[in-house]
Structure 1
């Protein structure tokens, strides 16, 4: 069945990937290459940029938490739960409008735009993940799921390269935000019809229960460990992902590679997502995640141990490569641990990831306020981020020892 890939499966992969390009690559991560442009235009300072990053991730935390509670609230008040596909479509539409809001010459409006973008992108990520993985499982094509998670990396590459072109042609940061909103609008128009129907029409009785009336499942210690470890990954990568160009300008200001670090990060994310297809179905995901966390930890520390062009290049590759592997394997573990309520656990994982992303810029802001220089502040921030990834890796090692999987089952 899986050897012959259906057009429907390809359509699902295409739609899921484009959803992630817009929600993650543009709405979330375009802020990283655009922040130096905003600083150059003097429309914001570094503290203000840190605040916009933090408020965005507060919105993401709220959005992901709402995804956890939404099925219970609607079923409690006997309100029909909207289809996953409808939630995806309209969260993407709202996201595009909010990207456009950043192009408006009203700085007082930008915190609201970034906050609401956090909410809309959380909905897009959680429901695109749940909808796409479930549809591919129904088609016995889950081995294609890694292709969906190339979306954020592709979006990062596009946002980075487009930003380089905009800088070359002397675009203002406002014009850059406008450009991204237009591109995002065309993208969601291309996949709008892909997201249709309700999973209930194609699901088993178990999955129907999951959508209509959430069936209580036991919360195990392993689930709690997974939630904590996943949240630590959000903290561990976000300082590098948010402030990389700024840090590079501080440490290697004359390097010709500075503007290309962010696109290289995106390429690494894409390659990591493609590699997930090669992970055997029988492999223990927790063991893979342990090694992936150690790899990302090494990448976070590279600019400190080797503050050179080569150190930054290798570091950004080692941070980017694990990014989508962590996301995909985390979602697969959610399906394994809570098969009847996977969307609920996915939402909770995303909420904790969002909390980690909030704390990252906040920690960086604290160090910026209490350090002698920006370089010292970023050094302390990166060491703290690396430590969090080390703790996350330990949790997966602990899970592997305490909760052995007697019979490895297919994640399809």
Structure 2
């Protein structure tokens, strides 16, 4: 009898051990799903859909650039509005972001003039900012979750990867843009469902440990080599300009270079590089400090941005997607904890200033790109301008 009972007992113990190991990760996974929906689907799915909407005659290249800039303007507006939001509202705002993003995705399936698409993209940008900030506030104010920044931000890359592959599958099936937007809405709902119960009223945010406390797991220890607050703001703003050209136009400028391969798969590689990179850059930040880790991150990103201007071969496009995708969320993973750590040293809201600078860079990127493309009919100019911005961002780390 002892032998008969020992199997189930050991099995039950193993199951309890596995469950105990997973339970602490559930809040982080829920917050990551908010970013997968709000950022990966709501914000960056447009990058994969952009060339298809141009193909279907729903947008011109210039109107698409305006829609992209409107989205980043909405992100800036939403981020600035969130600076006045109380911490206790974070769970409710996570749900608002999930619902609002799904509604925007569905609205883009409607037949309408370009001005309507531009307006919807602005609203989608607002909801993506709400998603990022509300999920971060909610997670980092839960006891024992401040160390979860890499898992949280990996949701962005996972959302990009999933939405891109959904677009590629729908495109292969012959779906046009309205049907694809409806499918993206459905996909965002599927991701939102397991996250939704975590944002009930039962878990109110609590004050986090001080970021300056010794051994605080969420942020690296202060280092004398860190940049000052204003150089960090400048570097972060230039980084926003530098990555956004690739993040807006990548499938568009590779669409005629891959033969029978859907260029959206290149955009999926962007997300594939982004998802695990947060853990790498977080570890490197702990090891090297803000200045050196951020400078290395931006240099690698600059190489990835300029590659398609140097070679129009498929391996260059793939390498660009992996390098830029593998660094742009890493920039956030490095810069935002550093800003939170040094916020006490300035008289203004450093996190708000960082968000505003990044938002301005993202708004300017598509507008400058549109002007340069209109002049030269080539993406080489925008990519060169983005690379210069990233090199300037790297230099700002050492001011």
Q: Determine if the TM-score, normalized by the shorter chain, exceeds 0.5.
A: yes
> SS where residue 397 of structure 1 aligns?
coil
**Equivalent position to 1:192, from 179, 189, 196:** 196
Q: TM-score, normalised by structure 1?
A: 0.82
**Equivalent position to 2:120, from 105, 113, 118:** 113
Task: Report the aligned-residue RMSD.
Answer: 2.7
* Alignment match, 2:76: 61
* Alignment match, 2:51: 36
**Equivalent position to 1:130, from 134, 137, 140:** 137
Q: Does 2:26 match 1:11?
A: yes
* Alignment match, 2:293: 288
Q: Does 2:246 match 1:240?
A: yes
**C-alpha distance in structure 1 between counterparts of 2:316 and 2:227, whole Å:** 39
**C-alpha distance in structure 1 between counterparts of 2:82 and 2:279, whole Å:** 27
| Cα distance change, pair 62–201 in 1 and its aligned pair in 2 (3 A) | closer
Instruction: For 1:288-367, list aligned pairs within 5 A.
Output: 288-338=293-343, 344-367=349-372
Instruction: Give the CA deviation at 1:127.
Output: 2.1
**C-alpha distance in structure 2 between counterparts of 1:189 and 1:317, whole Å:** 30
| Cα distance change, pair 201–50 in 1 and its aligned pair in 2 (3 A) | closer
**C-alpha distance in structure 2 between counterparts of 1:178 and 1:359, whole Å:** 30
Instruction: Give the CA deviation at 1:370.
Output: 1.8
| Cα distance change, pair 142–341 in 1 and its aligned pair in 2 (3 A) | farther
**Equivalent position to 1:182, from 154, 179, 186:** 186
Q: TM-score, normalised by structure 2?
A: 0.84
* Alignment match, 1:147: 151
**C-alpha distance in structure 1 between counterparts of 2:350 and 2:141, whole Å:** 14
**1:2-43 alpha-carbon deviations (Å, 9 max, x no partner):** xx9865531121111101110111011100111111112111
| Cα distance change, pair 127–223 in 1 and its aligned pair in 2 (3 A) | farther
> SS where residue 254 of structure 1 aligns?
coil
Q: Does 2:106 match 1:100?
A: yes
| Cα distance change, pair 197–281 in 1 and its aligned pair in 2 (3 A) | farther
Instruction: Give the CA deviation at 1:110.
Output: 1.6
* Alignment match, 2:95: 89
Higher relative contact order (CA 8 A, sep 6+): 1
**C-alpha distance in structure 2 between counterparts of 1:275 and 1:173, whole Å:** 36
Report the structure number with the largest CA radius of gyration: 2
Q: Is 2:227–2:291's contact at 8 Å kept on the other side of the alignment?
A: no
**C-alpha distance in structure 2 between counterparts of 1:321 and 1:44, whole Å:** 29
| Cα distance change, pair 257–200 in 1 and its aligned pair in 2 (3 A) | closer
**C-alpha distance in structure 1 between counterparts of 2:239 and 2:92, whole Å:** 30
| Cα distance change, pair 200–249 in 1 and its aligned pair in 2 (3 A) | closer
Q: Is 2:79–2:130's contact at 8 Å kept on the other side of the alignment?
A: yes
- Structure 2 spans left out of the alignment, 5+ residues: 1-18, 212-225
Q: Does 2:265 match 1:264?
A: no
Instruction: Give the CA deviation at 1:52.
Output: 0.8
* Alignment match, 2:7: none
**C-alpha distance in structure 1 between counterparts of 2:210 and 2:319, whole Å:** 45
Instruction: Give the CA deviation at 1:288.
Output: 0.3
**C-alpha distance in structure 2 between counterparts of 1:337 and 1:196, whole Å:** 32
Q: How many residues align?
A: 366
**C-alpha distance in structure 2 between counterparts of 1:5 and 1:317, whole Å:** 35
